[in-house]
Amino acid sequence: MHDDDRFLSLDASIALLAADSGAPAPFVAKIRALFEAKGISLERSAGPYLAALREAFRREESLRLLSDRSSDALARARHDLGRLDGDWERQLAHLRALQDALHAQARRLRSGVEQLAAPSRTVLCPGSVELPFVPGPDTVQ
């Protein structure tokens, strides 16, 4: 028995590693194509290549999981930003309503002040007598 005979073929090893890692079909096809491009038969024993194959599938799985977590985090961030945008819009609308109310109150106050400052007609109170006043000498005439 030859040492290489105790290992599975490259094709079987690739299939097994792909199933264990959940590697997508395009990645598995690229691994197979890499060996075929180098003229290495997929029926050959995987022994000399097994460590490199394990590492390649391990790295692909790690990158895929990291990418999935990153995509999930990005989706959560987008959701949170959308929620914050809605909160901001509500706060802005509330502030604008307050601003409008303050402007209306300021107009009413200005109008009231203008009415106080404007000359008003003489108002007589009961018991008061309106006597004409004519400027003249300081003594009674």
pLDDT band at residue 130 using 50, 70 and 90 as cut-offs? low
pLDDT band at residue 1 using 50, 70 and 90 as cut-offs: very low
Would you state the pLDDT for residue 99? Answer: 96
CA quadruple 5, 6, 9, 10: dihedral sign: negative
pLDDT at 126: 63
Section 67-86 average pLDDT: 96
Instruction: From residue 2, give the alpha-carbon distance in Å to each of 5, 7, 49, 76.
Output: 5, 10, 16, 55
| Spatial distance between the Cα atoms of 30 and 5, rounded to a whole number of angstroms | 25
Residue 21 confidence (pLDDT) above 80:
yes
pLDDT greater than 70 at residue 124: no
Which percentage of the chain shows pLDDT scores above 70? 79
